[in-house]
Amino acid sequence: MLSKLAVVLLAFFAAVTFGLPLLLVDSSFFTTGADLLSVLGRYVAFVAFLVLTWQYVWTAKLKFLERLISYDRRVAIHRTLGFLGILFLSLHPIFVLGAYAAWEVPLTLSPVILLGFIAFLILLMIAGSTFLGRIWGVRYESWKRLHWFNFVVLTIAFVHSLLIGSDLYAWRRVFWIALWGIHLLVLMAKFWHKIRVWVPTYKVLDVKRLSSSVIGLKLERPAWRYLPGQFVFLTARFGKHWESWHPFSLTSSIAEKNLSVAIKGVGDFSTQAPKIQAGDRIKVDGPYGGFSAQLFPDTRYVLVAGGVGITPVHGILKSLYIRQDPPEVRLIYSVHHEADILFRQDLESWFDERAQWQLTYIVSSQPDWPGEKGRLTPERIVPLCEDDLSGTFFLCGPLAMVRSLRRYLIGRGVPRRRIRSEQFVFLP
């Protein structure tokens, strides 16, 4: 659930995005026929430009934004804005062509119009890599680099609007150029952040295999502070080149002198991670995320983890365990096989020592497992919690699992503010 200040900020951006173009369009909406189509064509073009600009404001790695809305949720906003930007930009030529057809005036393909067409094609290419990336098998690194062409799209769109925009004269032109200045500031902020995090490197102190598909890294701790349950972006050098940045949850607690992360071998970077050895140096960017019990004090926590979703939960549990007055905790941990259980020794040691802590494993694909079997469906949550849905819920795991559990808990009357989830989906 977003804070009130975050909701106000989102409302402000929405008002600017849809209200400001009303001032920039130098015509009345109270018209009909071809003139109305022309006005609508210009209006949706202005909205599309603003939406695509805000898209990169929201994913800028700025600390004040991180305090308001965690990075994983801003990525979700970024995705939504991308869809809206394509939608409004697609409407622009439809309205314009409709207006010219109604005026019975031929539209010639001038260089300025061709610029706008090129920008639209590039945007469609980027969108295609996002929505169909898994089908096409687009590598994460290629997808990430392709996204930088969004700035090319906005640059072309800006030039197109200045050269062809009949609305942009006098104060409107000055205002539009000022908006372009905001776009450049965002771009500069992104480059500055990349430079700032690219220079320092941190030593890998230990590499440990946690399961057949997951390894754990222990790193030198950077100077910055973090909260248990947050995540960082890592990059390592394999051969001559550094890989793209990838997000991984912190498994360490704030009391530890070093950082610990767990990496599952499923992506481009992750499959090469086993090559990392103690003594290697990697780069760290963070911390990010608001998935932490320290941000939501309570006397009871219910933590639900699926698969590698246990990694941020491990850091949260470790921090709760070392408290002198630990709260009541229930952990429900779902895996495919017994061998997939991560941090088993830690978990069972902590839960054995805390009378008010209860641990339940659910194993879905191992018939001879003596405990709870099958998939973790939403309906199983209530009996597993012994009909007690009080406290704060932390959900982390496969996206479908988290969404279904969240909907079910809300339907059972659990307030949204007491349900925290990690939306750890940054890939196409």
Query: Do 52 and 143 belong together in one domain?
Result: yes
pLDDT at 329: 93
In contact, 232 and 247? CB cutoff 8 Å: yes
Give 427 or 20, the one with higher predicted confidence: 20
| Listed ranges 235-244, 271-280, 358-367, 382-391; the one with the highest mean pLDDT | 358-367
Averaged pLDDT, 128-136 = 65
Residue 426 lies in a domain: no
Residue 347 lies in a domain: yes
Residue 428 lies in a domain: no
pLDDT at 303: 94
Binned at pLDDT 50, 70 and 90, residue 125 comes out as: confident
Query: Do 132 and 59 belong together in one domain?
Result: yes
Query: Do 251 and 392 belong together in one domain?
Result: no
Query: Do 172 and 221 belong together in one domain?
Result: no
Longest dimension (CA), the chain: 82
Give 231 or 67, the one with higher predicted confidence: 231
Q: In this structure, what token pair is assigned to residue 96? A: 């314009």
Query: Do 65 and 133 belong together in one domain?
Result: yes
Residue 60 lies in a domain: yes
Choosing from 288, 321, 341, the residue where a domain stops is: 288
Give 188 or 338, the one with higher predicted confidence: 338
In contact, 289 and 71? CB cutoff 8 Å: yes
Choosing from 268, 288, 308, the residue where a domain stops is: 288
Residue 235 lies in a domain: yes
Q: Per residue in 360-404, pLDDT tens?
A: 999 998 988 988 998 888 889 888 888 888 899 999 988 889 999
Give 190 or 81, the one with higher predicted confidence: 81
Total domains in the chain come to 3
Choosing from 288, 319, 342, the residue where a domain stops is: 288
Q: Per residue in 292-336, pLDDT tens?
A: 888 899 999 999 999 888 999 999 999 999 887 889 999 999 999
Residue 427 lies in a domain: no
Query: Do 329 and 248 belong together in one domain?
Result: no
In contact, 41 and 102? CB cutoff 8 Å: no
Residue 175 lies in a domain: yes
Query: Do 380 and 398 belong together in one domain?
Result: yes
Binned at pLDDT 50, 70 and 90, residue 428 comes out as: very low
What CATH number is attached to the domain comprising 334? 3.40.50.80
pLDDT at 192: 83
Query: Do 61 and 38 belong together in one domain?
Result: yes
Query: Do 274 and 402 belong together in one domain?
Result: no
Phi, psi of 281, deg, nearest 5: -120, 135
Query: Do 163 and 255 belong together in one domain?
Result: no
Residue 317 lies in a domain: yes
Query: Do 18 and 157 belong together in one domain?
Result: yes
Averaged pLDDT, 412-418 = 90
Question: DSSP character for 257?
Answer: S
Averaged pLDDT, 39-44 = 86
Q: Per residue in 50-76, pLDDT tens?
A: 888 888 788 877 777 777 787 878 888
Task: Please report, rounded to a whole number, the percentage of residues in the chain having pLDDT higher than 70.
Answer: 90
d(CA 412, CA 419): 12
What CATH number is attached to the domain comprising 225? 2.40.30.10
d(CA 220, CA 204): 7
Distance of CA 13 to the CA centre of its chain: 19
Rounded mean pLDDT of the chain?
Answer: 83
Query: Do 369 and 337 belong together in one domain?
Result: yes
Nearest residue to 69 via CA among 20, 13, 16, 28: 13
Answer whether the bond into residue 200 is a cis peptide, omega within 30°: no
The residue range of the domain holding 333 is 293-421
Task: Please report, rounded to a whole number, the percentage of residues in the chain having pLDDT higher than 90.
Answer: 17
- 426 has a pLDDT exceeding 60: no
What CATH number is attached to the domain comprising 57? 1.20.120.1770
